[in-house]
Amino acid sequence: MKLDFLSTTTAIATVLVAFAFAPAQAQDTESSEAQNTASKDPIDITTWNYSDLYAGWSVENFLDADVYDEDGEEIGEVEDLVVNPDGQVEELVIEAGGFLDIGDAHFTYPWQNAEIVSPDRVEVEFDDENIESYSLFGDVEGESVGPRSWRITELIDDYAALDEGVRYGWVDDVIISQQGEIQAVVVQPDVTYGVGGPYAWPYYGYDGGFDPGLDYYKVPYTEDEVADLGIFDYDQLEGGAVAEVEEGETAE
């Protein structure tokens, strides 16, 4: 389900402005301990293991997942994900057509309330009498003065930089757990480094490698340290690859 070009362009532009001034979200203690690696020593990349990542989901595949309402009607698709400063997905940004008889629209929906049937099928329930709670703008009372929530597409396609700012390639994907926590970034190296990849790097959040206001994702490793990384094998993702569902079948 696609919107016309003008409507889509205008809506996306609105989203960009909205999240640029969105307030910082309250930090959950447990999530902070798990995801805010900025306060911890860097992971030893030479012993970095992909095994836990393969139980997660590929964000690149998750985007454009079909969204269905409580009646089983397809209402749109996942356009983006909103991530809090601790690396936890908080909301889906959904692009819909004819939603609740108000025409084409973009709106948010809480990740924790969504039923993720598979990486290409999401089921949601709406309260028609409280539609304003799904606003893209949230409860904006002023500009953020600290770390803010950000869109996952602010990270995908950023440059990937090594220690001392050496540009290495670009962020091709993000791996999240099935609970919505960012686990790793998937990096495709520039041809300067030969034909290879993609490679998965640890996720470091605010003050540890990524700031949504910048155009690069930086990790505290040298070229020599990442030289021996193994290729990230998408075929091993348990729930990450978008399932090819034949017409008439249901994704499991």
Indicate the pLDDT class of residue 26, thresholds 50, 70 and 90. Answer: very low
What pLDDT is attached to residue 125?
87
- Higher-confidence position of 175 and 70: 175
Q: What is the pLDDT of residues 169-219, one digit of tens each?
A: 999 999 999 899 999 999 999 988 877 889 999 999 886 778 888 899 999
Q: What is the pLDDT of residues 216-243, one digit of tens each?
A: 999 999 999 998 899 999 999 876 543 3
Is the whole model's pTM more than 0.85, yes or no? no
Specify the amino acid at residue 180.
G
User: Is-cis flag, bond preceding 23, omega within 30?
Assistant: no
Q: What is the pLDDT of residues 119-172, one digit of tens each?
A: 889 999 876 666 667 777 665 444 445 578 899 999 999 999 999 889 999 999
- d(CA 19, CA 144) in angstroms, rounded, equals 10
Burial group, residue 65, by CB count within 10 angstroms (0-12, 13-18, 19+): buried
Burial group, residue 235, by CB count within 10 angstroms (0-12, 13-18, 19+): exposed
Q: Which domains does the chain have, with CATH numbers?
A: 150-236 (2.30.30.240)
* Contact present, 183 and 196 (Cβ < 8 Å): no
Indicate the pLDDT class of residue 84, thresholds 50, 70 and 90. Answer: very high
Indicate the pLDDT class of residue 247, thresholds 50, 70 and 90. Answer: very low
Residue 110: phi and psi, rounded to 5, are -60, 130
- d(CA 111, CA 122) in angstroms, rounded, equals 10
